[in-house]
Amino acid sequence: MLNPDGVIIGNSRVNLGGVDMNRRWGASVLDRNVTPEVFMLKEYLQCLKSRVLMYLDLHGHTKGEGIFFYACQPEVTHQKDDKFFNTQVLEKTILVRALPTLLGKRSPFFNLARNKYYSLKKDGESKKLNTARVVSTQELGIDQSYTVESSFFCYSVPNKAGVRKPLTQKTFVRAGADLLQGVYTITFTTLKL
């Protein structure tokens, strides 16, 4: 956990100093004195370079139902004379969407419909440019960088329209096991390719 001092006093979004740590990852706003936890984690990830296959940033969500993912959509870069489809972008797109899709299909707690893949060029998400997910993708080169959002209250029961159940300690343990199984499946499938 990166924010124990904030969480212990009931702040799930900010640290003890009142700073939103998830908006302090970019080089222009990163400050070792304001968010030392972020500074050290980013430095550690930079040391690991290409050995990091995936980055998961776990958050609570006040409005959404279930557990869902936010990720950066790989950007298509075409040149004027480029007549061929960019297969590298297609491969990255499939890779980025694999884990959220797998969990949305296999686990009752993950909400496939709520997953979002942001194009930073198109969506103009300037307020997200300094988040862990975006910086991990753009600066650190970790294509599978996700913000995993979990509802504070419930999930929708699959195949039962309108039926919702609370997310409890027991369901979070099961959801965590599903997440780890998904990470294992995707990671080892990817390594074999």
Cα 109 to Cα 151: distance, rounded to the nearest angstrom: 10
DSSP, res 168: -
Note the Cα 45 to chain centre separation in Å. Answer: 15
149 is catalytic: yes
Which residues lie below 8 Å from residue 100, measured CB to CB, with a gap of 6+? 68, 69, 71, 110, 112, 115, 146
Query: Which of helix, strand or coil describes residue 24?
Result: coil
Hey, what are 123's tokens?
Answer: 């969506």
Hey, is 144 helix, strand or coil? Answer: strand
Can you tell me whether residue 70 is helix, strand or coil? strand
Question: 43, 65, 139, 149: which one is catalytic?
Answer: 149
Give the catalytic positions in this structure: 149
